[in-house]
Amino acid sequence: MANPADGAVVNEEHALQFATLLQRKGFEEQFLQEIREVRDKEALSPHGWLWLTGWAKSKDIELPTELLVDLFKEWSDVFVKTNVLDLATRTAEYRPPRELYISITDFPNDFLRQVMLSAVRVEREEFPGFEDFPDEREEFRRLEALPAMGRAEALLVSLLQVGRPITLWAASAFLRHEWQGHRHTEAFFWLLYDKLDRESQDAWSQSIPFMPERPEERRG
């Protein structure tokens, strides 16, 4: 379990020790069984979970949905969130939707539905005077203007980075969802889009089922 705080030498020693344990008869099977039974997000440190989720993917191990939801909600780091979302949707069933526009409350994947609903949950104190939020695009760049938007932004980035058909479909549903942070989420999407090269922009345009309006187009 690599932890940058321990240094390269210590981490290498831990890796060698773990490799030795895996060679013992029955150890790997017992370890896999214990992983499948983990339910508490406090069982490991963030670095431990980052290592374990990566190892679980390499061994085709499925962790409980509720645990993955808790881990995704627990951390603010987008890299860690993306790793968890990648594991949670690795074997997710995807069927092209009959209806292009689907509500996040009806999204047919339990993990994605829960993390999307969590991201749009608004605490009253987090959005004082939200209805007075200005429309000017420059204001959307001020992350401090909407402190709770970090949840929605991190989720959107993770959905797009994983890039599976089901996560892109979820991104489409998420961008279309009407809530207090809807306009900000759309504007944030376009900030990400505009930073891409032309080839990547074309790929997004072709693979994301619903592309939101640009804020300036709506005002026009």
Q: Who's near 110: CB < 8 A, 6+ residues apart?
A: 65
Average pLDDT, integer, range 124-135: 48
Would residue 144 count as lying in a domain?
yes
Nearest 5°: the CA angle 145, 149, 153 is: 125
Would residue 187 count as lying in a domain?
yes
**AA identity, residue 118:** S
Residues 177 and 108 in one domain: yes
Q: What is the DSSP string of 169-201?
A: HHHHHHHH--STTHHHHHHHHHHHHHTS-HHHH
* pLDDT tens digits for range 156-182: 999 999 999 999 999 999 999 998 888
Gap between the Cα atoms of 40 and 58, Å rounded: 22
Specify the pLDDT at position 42: 67
Residues 46 and 109 in one domain: no
* Between 157 and 130, residue with greater pLDDT: 157
Residues 121 and 212 in one domain: yes
**Three-class SS state of 4:** helix
Q: What is the DSSP string of 83-131?
A: HHHHHHTTT------SSS---GGG-S-HHHHHHHHHHT---GGGSTTGG
Spatial CA neighbour of 114 closest among 126, 105, 123: 105
Q: Number of structural domains, the chain?
A: 2
pTM: 0.74
Of 15, 42, 64, which closes a domain?
Answer: 64
Q: Which range has the worst mean pLDDT, 52-56, 108-112, 174-178?
A: 52-56
Specify the pLDDT at position 66: 92
Average pLDDT, the chain: 76
Query: What is the number of other CB atoms lying within 10 angstroms of the CB of residue 33?
Result: 9
Segments forming the whole domain that contains residue 36 = 4-64
Enclosing H/E stretch for 122: none
